Structure 1
Amino acid sequence: MKEYRQGVSLAYPIDHRLIRQFLAAVEHGNITAASNALHISQPALTKNIRKLEEFLGVRLLERHSRGVVATSYGQVLARRGKLVELEFEYAMAEIEAMKGGNKGTIRIGTSPVFATLYMPKVAISLVEQSPGLKIELENGVLDTLVPGLLQGDLDIVCSALDFPDHPELVKDHLIDFEHAVFARTEHPLADRDVIDPKEMMEYSWVMLAKDYVAVSRLGSYFSANGLGPPHIAVETNSFETAFASVREADFLTSSTLSLQPHAENMGLVPLPIQGTLWHFPAGATYRRSTTTPSSVNAVVACLKDIVKTTENI
């Protein structure tokens, strides 16, 4: 490889196709697979990536026998380049909307409570406003949704806001939630007036998979009472499955009190524990931009109206 330059002059713009080709190589992890997906020859793709590396003055890909992997420089370009691609998609969607087409896709990440209580109505409202808009809903937890937003896989996240502030993200606080402990109505602890934390240590828990924030908060509750972390026996990606598992045995689970009606429909009740697990703010999070995409603004506006209406019922 040629010797890299020490500086880069931004007076000469990078061909957008080079960025797209580099992103394909990173996503596929293989030059041959990327060239096939792009419908160009492998030598042409290799040449263009080297051209991009020489322009920036850094090595973007490490090549090995099984394919390629982004260097630390390449990871930065991949993350930023993907956001550039997204901005282009937003621009196209807004132009279509101005022309009357209202096309495009909005990818919404949502926590279980938002997915259950608010997102069906939000989706209906968005479809009515923009008939050509495609809505993709992805259920998850903070530890999966926020990284997806930062990486450009999601356009907006509707969930808890109790995670560290990030310079690239905007948080819009809409509501406050309280977590509670749920058990089936036949559970030995269900008829107690107040439950000591020690008593709950005798039972196993069902929790959402990868919800490290909730597990940490749960551990903090027991730690504050001089106890170790509870035993988590089952992890699932679905709160319905979590509730169904608790209904079938003397498990315990943690969820927001806002889901109490759904829990009661499945034969569960909130337990009168000593103290509270935790309160937390919730709302919408999206990437900071000089101009927020109209589709993201539409989601926030719909969500605000529906949350306000629901809370006033």
Structure 2
Amino acid sequence: MKAEKSFLNRRTSQFLAIYETGNIRDAAVTIGLTQPAVSMGLQQLEDELGTPLFNRSVKGVVPTSAGKIYYRYACNLRQSAIYAAQEIEEQVRGHSGTLRIGAGLAWASTFIPPVLVHIKKKFPNLTIDLVAGVADQLAEKFETGKLDLLLAAGPIEPLASPEFLSYFLTNIPMVAMADPSHSLASHKTVSLKQLQAAEWAGFYEDDTFVYHATQFFALHGLNPPTISMRTNAIAALTEFVKSTETITLVSSPIVPRSLEAGLVILPLTEPLWEIPVKIHLRHVAAQLGPIKMFIDKIHEVI
């Protein structure tokens, strides 16, 4: 909050509070002002921009299309203020603060933990938050400034913006797996038609995966697969596949863990698709010590 006050003007700070609480009264309480003062600040901001930023109702406020655009840039301003304060503090006292990393389930459970050990040794006063999930869920958190770094597979459209910087890491292949007792596991080879016809288990709200699977099978004249179970936990996914007549597709980093859990790789007649993996960050954060170290170390281990 101190960094925000140093860099953001009063009306932008008030706008952020209104947007994130959905109510002018609650926003006033959050930032310690009276409701009339916050209402007046919002009106002045709308007058300057020449357009309403919210639609008002007795229940609260709903952002207009202009409000949504302003919020995206206001989030970037707020995050820039936080990074500026962190970089100044790093110069004065050595780095403290919090590094917030969002990563796909495959990366959060394999490559990233050893990297975080190195960062913690280098910056002992740093607090590290590692948030695991699917790319589509994490992208929104990153875009609104709730994450500093995002390591994710596949294209993420909202991040194709000048304020964001991306580094390509690698392409990862998808691998089909099942329990050894599954009917397909005993086949010498498994065709794409047989794979598509099976019941699938997958990750919850993984829209990127669904998109790639749909496009891949369409290119081979096949309908999208049926996903009968979804979860956001690798352990739950493997346990379900072990105990049912379902198959799953996982990225290659998850394969060793899935093999240890008792699954087997299905011998497909042709390879599945590959997904590009990238690190996303803001340009203004690129010179922060922990972020630079994370990028360097993750390149070493992948």
Question: Above 0.5 in TM-score?
Answer: yes
Q: What's the offset of the Cα at 1:34?
A: 1.0
Deviations for 1:59-86, whole angstroms, at most 9, x for unmatched residues? 2221112101222222222111111111
Mapped to 2, the partners of 1:240 and 1:221 lie a distance apart of 26
Is the Cα contact below 8 Å between 2:150 and 2:281 reproduced in 1?
A: yes
Matched, 1:42 2:35: yes
Q: What's the offset of the Cα at 1:17?
A: 2.0
Alignment of 1:22-101 (within 5 A): 22-101=15-94
Mapped to 2, the partners of 1:82 and 1:162 lie a distance apart of 22
The verdict on how the C-alpha distance between 1:84 and 1:295 changes in structure 2, with shifts beyond 3 A counting, is farther
Q: What's the offset of the Cα at 1:132?
A: 1.4
Matched, 1:167 2:161: yes
Counterpart of 1:9 in structure 2 is none
Match for 1:167: what amino acid? Answer: S
Match for 2:160: what amino acid? Answer: H
Q: What's the offset of the Cα at 1:291?
A: 5.5
Mapped to 1, the partners of 2:71 and 2:155 lie a distance apart of 28
Which of 18-27 and 208-217 deviates more? 208-217
Q: What's the offset of the Cα at 1:292?
A: 4.4
Which of 98-107 and 204-213 deviates more? 98-107
Counterpart of 2:239 in structure 1 is 244
Q: What's the offset of the Cα at 1:298?
A: 2.4
RMSD: 2.0
Alignment of 1:63-212 (within 5 A): 63-163=56-156, 166-168=160-162, 169-212=164-207
Secondary structure of residue in 2 paired with 1:277: coil
Which of 127-136 and 54-63 deviates more? 54-63
Q: What's the offset of the Cα at 1:236?
A: 0.9
Is the Cα contact below 8 Å between 2:139 and 2:156 reproduced in 1?
A: no
Mapped to 2, the partners of 1:48 and 1:298 lie a distance apart of 41
Mapped to 1, the partners of 2:133 and 2:27 lie a distance apart of 29
Match for 2:161: what amino acid? Answer: P
Please list every run of 5 or more consecutive structure 2 residues that lacks an aligned counterpart in the other structure: 1-6
Deviations for 1:144-188, whole angstroms, at most 9, x for unmatched residues? 222332222221111214445713332212222110111011111
Mapped to 1, the partners of 2:220 and 2:47 lie a distance apart of 59
Q: What's the offset of the Cα at 1:116?
A: 1.4
Secondary structure of residue in 1 paired with 2:184: coil
Mapped to 2, the partners of 1:267 and 1:50 lie a distance apart of 61
Mapped to 2, the partners of 1:290 and 1:207 lie a distance apart of 34
Match for 1:241: what amino acid? Answer: A
The verdict on how the C-alpha distance between 1:144 and 1:73 changes in structure 2, with shifts beyond 3 A counting, is same
Alignment of 1:244-283 (within 5 A): 244-283=239-278
Which of 142-151 and 95-104 deviates more? 142-151
Mapped to 1, the partners of 2:152 and 2:286 lie a distance apart of 22
Is the Cα contact below 8 Å between 1:53 and 1:60 reproduced in 2?
A: yes
Count of residues in Structure 1 that have an aligned counterpart in Structure 2 = 294
Mapped to 2, the partners of 1:67 and 1:146 lie a distance apart of 27
Q: What's the offset of the Cα at 1:278?
A: 0.6
Matched, 1:302 2:297: yes
Q: What's the offset of the Cα at 1:223?
A: 2.5
Mapped to 1, the partners of 2:37 and 2:161 lie a distance apart of 37
Deviations for 1:188-243, whole angstroms, at most 9, x for unmatched residues? 11121111223234431111111112122222333233221111101111222111
Q: What's the offset of the Cα at 1:289?
A: 4.1
User: Higher helix proportion, which one?
Assistant: 2
Mapped to 1, the partners of 2:76 and 2:26 lie a distance apart of 22
Mapped to 2, the partners of 1:113 and 1:53 lie a distance apart of 44
TM-score of the pair, normalised by structure 2: 0.90
Q: What's the offset of the Cα at 1:251?
A: 0.7
Q: What's the offset of the Cα at 1:114?
A: 0.9
